[in-house]
Structure formats: C-alpha cells, structure tokens
Amino acid sequence: MILLFIVFCPILAALAILIGAPARRTALWAAILTLAATTLVYFGGFEAGQRGFQLVSSWPISADWRINFTLGLDGLSLMMLVLTAIVTLAAICFTGEIKQHEHAFYACLLFIAGGAMGAFASLDLFFFYAFHELALIPTFLLIGIWGTGNRQVAAWKITIYLGTGSFVLLLGLIMLYRSVPEAARSFDFRALQKAASTIPAEAQGNIFLLLLLGFGILVSLFPFHTWAPEAYASAPPPAAMLHAGVLKKFGLYGLLRLALPLLPEGAQQWSTLLIVLLLGNIIYVGLVTIAQKRLDWMLGYSSVMHMGYIFLGIASGTLLGTNGAALLIFAHGISIALLFGLAGEIRQRTGTLVLTDLGGLGKAMPRAALAFGLAAFAAIGLPGFANFTGEVMVLFGTFRNGANPERFTIYQIATVLALWGVVISAVYMLRAYRRVFMGALRESWSGLADLNGNLRVPIGILIAASLWFGFFPQSFVRIVSPAFKSYFVSK
C-alpha cells in the first residue's frame, strides 16, 4: 500500500489545491511526505539484490481486456521514484512568487510528479502509458501560461513533438501486445516478459524501431531534439527542473524496461542506427551548445547532449554499460534540475540570462556560485560525482562489446567519438560559469540578494545524492543490477 501512497499523494494534493487548500504549503508537505515514503522504501521495504518485482499490489480493472492496476518495484523503478521525489521537493522549494493562478501552478507541478511516479511504479502497460500522458498536459500549461519569452510557440512545439512521440509509442505498444500468442496476451510486464521469447525476430525489429522512435522523441534523441532547448528556456524553472530532470527520463526508462528485455533481437538489428543517432546528440548537439549565447538555452542543449551518453549505455549490449546508463539517468536528473533551478534564481534577480550581460555574480551571490559550480562539475563528469561514475561505466561497457584486438568495431569507434563529448561539455559549462560568476560585477548588481536559507535543504539534498552515488556507486549498482541480469550477460 505504500506504493499507492507514493503515487497518489502528489495527485490528491493537486486536487486539494484546486479546490482551495493552501497552495505552497500543501504542495510542500505533499513533496516531503512523498520523499519520506520513498526513503522508507529505499532503506526498509526493499531487498537489494533480489530479482523480480517487490511490494506488488494489484487491483482488477477490466477482466475482458486483462487490465489491472498493478504497482510494483525493482531496483530500476525504485531509483526512478527516488529521483522523482527528490526533484519534486527541490522544484517546489525553488518556486518563487507566482503572480497569477498560484493554485493552478502548484497543482500542475504535482500532477507532473504524480504522473511520473505512476509511470515508474506501474507494472501494467495501460497505466504505464496513461500516467505519462497525465503529466504532459500540465507541462503544456506551465510553459504556455507561466513561461517567458516566446512561451506559446514553445508550448505548442513541445506538445506537437511529444504528442507525436506518444502516438508512435502507442503504435509500438499495441504491436507488442498483439505480437504474443493470444492465450498469453496481457498488459502485465511480467506476463509479457515470459511470452516475449515467442515473438519472431522480424516482428521484434519492427516493434523495436517504433518503440525507439517513440521513446526517442520523448527523450530528444537526435534529430528529434529541437523541442527541448526552446521549451526549457521558456518554461518556469520548476517546470524545467521536473521535465528535464524526471519526465524526460520516461523514454529512457521505457527502453530499459520494455524494449531491451522483451525485444533483444530487435535491439541488435537497430543498434547501428541508434549509435549513429546518439553520436548526433553527443557531437553535433554538443557543438551547438558551445555556440549558445544564453544560459538557459545552453542548459537546454546540454541536457539534450547528455542524453547521448545514456543512449550509448543502452546500446552497449553489456551489463556494465546498462548499469552505467541507469546511474547516469539518475545523476543527470539531479544535476540538470539543480542547474535549471539556479538559473531561475539568477534570472529573477538580474532579469537576464544573456551570458555577455552577466559577470561577477560570485561576489554578490557566493552561495549560488558554489552551488552552481558543484552542479556544473557534476554535469561535466568531474570525479567524485555520480555523473562521472555513470559515464565511465557507459564508456567501458560500450568499448568492451565485441572488442577485437585486430580492428575497431562500431562500438569502439562510438566510444572514442563519445570521449570528445567530455571535452565539449567541459568547454561550454566552464565558459558559462566564468561568464556568469567571474570577472567584474556591475555596480547596479552589488546589492543582489544571495540564495535564501530555504533553498539550502533542497540544494544540499541534490548535491549529497550526486556525491553519495559518485563515491559509492556500488550502493546504486547492487540495487539496479538485478533488474538487468536476467537479459544481459556481462562481457
């Protein structure tokens, strides 16, 4: 029952806010209680190292369609819930004064959190998809109503892209459901996994391609990435934190949860295409990120660029690389959420995020400079942070696939090219930090207020999580790895 509480606490709090409950207080308490319940599961209710799903609860919905509202956890879904709970609390804490429709704003944030929680905890294909769709509507509203800049164009653009991706994904899920023998058809992930061996190789290839395109659009896989930077630059910071940090990870989670374990032969058929596309994320989008003139656009493009490393881990075909992809999903969610939150604080105080207009803010906002520096170091993969550990696991895992002493395969070539992404990310992130926080401070900004004390807790939690799994990655791997051992062979 605790999973039921974790999923519906944000949703019920959002409904309470819409009918008149105090907006910020209700949202904050809902986020605190959700994080507390998730932490309780992590430390007390979940047995690390055990294969299969735990804490499973099921309620029948339709016997004819074999639809059940089923919740359960393995290590992968547990860490996604932990990520969602942490980022949700941070997003609400970073929410400043809302001048119009305050109740609706907080309700939208909680609906996104609840939708993500439901998608990650669902073991039924129908609710896995439905919970994600629940989170897309408030994303459109948050950007279109409370966003900045060309917010309406950005809102419609993200809606069109994500709606298209969801439609393609739906086609793939329908094909997956119908590809198994009729007697074994079920929306339950566990039943599908048992019946997956009966899916012919050709059908696997067709289904995997649809799932790759559907999930890929949702994750901003190159060349379907252009919606993300504009949407994040126009979105209010808490919305950017939740979407870039959590909701965008739904597509990656779906590939790890459904596409790889159920369609292994299909994944092999399209591995070369995936590697070519993800290198577009790392190299092409990385170079575009260097050219950005605004901090928010730079962060948006950097988020797209780092998705390439996670896709590389998914394409690696090794247990090491896949574990690294899972760790990098968590690590990137933490670091990008903090960066977007801090960028929002800078814009609130200065009124601009144009890099050439900023400078010297470290003198007026030393706490912000320290927090942004740590988040930037995490994002570029400095040793000690979880991002570094995840990237190393991805690169080593990919390089080991099909290693041949006589010649490089596409996996070794992709690894070498991806290493240049580390240099690219260091260039754009460190240059942005220098332009924002170093140098001379404008006289008119000498009295800028630093981060208030209320933000110390969420910032501390985000940084502590990144450092903990960076210094002790085995504490993450021992939880997540059993979810992959059943369909990956360590190489």
Which residue type occupies 51?
R
Tens digit of pLDDT at every position of the chain (491 positions): 788 999 999 999 999 999 989 999 999 999 999 999 999 998 887 887 777 888 888 888 776 667 788 899 988 999 999 999 999 999 999 998 888 888 999 999 999 999 999 999 999 888 999 999 888 889 989 998 998 888 888 889 989 999 999 999 999 999 988 888 777 778 888 888 888 778 888 888 899 999 999 999 999 999 998 898 999 999 999 999 999 999 999 999 999 998 888 888 888 889 899 999 999 999 999 999 999 999 999 999 999 999 999 999 999 888 889 999 999 999 999 999 999 999 999 998 888 889 888 888 888 889 999 999 999 999 998 999 999 999 999 999 998 886 666 678 888 889 999 999 999 999 999 999 999 998 888 877 778 888 888 898 999 999 999 999 999 999 898 999 888 877 754 34
Q: How far is CA 123 from CA 54, 58, 126, 141, in A?
A: 11, 9, 9, 28
- Residues paired with 188 in a beta bridge: 124
Cα–Cα distance, 260 to 1 (Å, whole number): 29
> What does the block give as tokens for 433?
């930090």
CA gap 225, 216 in Å, rounded: 9
Tokens of 446: 């000498």
CB contact at 8 A, 323 and 393: yes
- Lookup: tokens for 299: 């962060």
Single-letter amino acid, residue 324: G
Contact 123, 282 (CB under 8 A): no
Q: Are the CB atoms for 146 and 107 separated by under 8 Å?
A: no
477: tokens are 């791997």
Map tokens 């994904």 to a residue. Answer: 169
Cα separation of 190 and 211, whole Å?
A: 18
DSSP 226-263: THHHHHHHHS-HHHHHHIIIIITHHHHHHIIIIIHHH-
pTM for this predicted structure: 0.92
Q: What is the pLDDT of residue 488?
A: 58
How big is the chain, counted in residues?
491
Nearest CA to 177 among 202, 197, 196, 163? 196
Q: Which helix (H) or strand (E) holds 201?
A: helix 201-219
Helix (H) or strand (E) holding 71: strand 67-73
Report d(CA 140, CA 152) in Å as an integer.
Answer: 9
Other CB atoms closer than 10 Å to residue 453's CB: what's the count? 8
Measured between alpha carbons, how far apart are the two ends of the chain, in Å? Answer: 39
CA distance 31 to 457: 13
> Do residues 417 and 282 touch, judged by C-beta distance below 8 A?
yes
What DSSP state is assigned to residue 403?
-
Structure tokens at 200: 């012919």
For 257-299, the three-class secondary structure string (H helix, E strand, C coil) is HHHHHHCHHHHHHCHHHHHHHHHHHHHHHHHHHHCCCEHHHHH
- Using CA atoms, how far apart are residues 265 and 270, in angstroms rounded to an integer? 9
CA 269, CA 260: separation in Å to the nearest integer? 12
Residue 403 confidence (pLDDT): 61
Q: Output the CA torsion sign for 390, 396, 399, 400.
A: negative
Q: Are 220 and 310 in contact (CB under 8 A)?
A: no
Q: Regarding beta strands 67-73 and 54-62, do their DSSP bridges make them parallel or antiparallel, or are they unpaired?
A: antiparallel
Distance CA 324, CA 307 (A): 13
Cβ–Cβ under 8 Å, residues 255 and 217: no
Per-residue confidence (pLDDT) for residue 490, from 0 to 100: 39
- The overall longest dimension of the chain from CA atoms, in Å, is 74
How many Å apart are CA 227 and CA 217, to the nearest integer? 9
Structure tokens belonging to residue 183: 């007697």
Q: So what's the pLDDT on residue 11?
A: 94
CA distance 227 to 291: 18
Mention every residue, 6+ apart, whose C-beta is less than 8 A from residue 317: 267, 268, 271, 401, 411, 488, 491
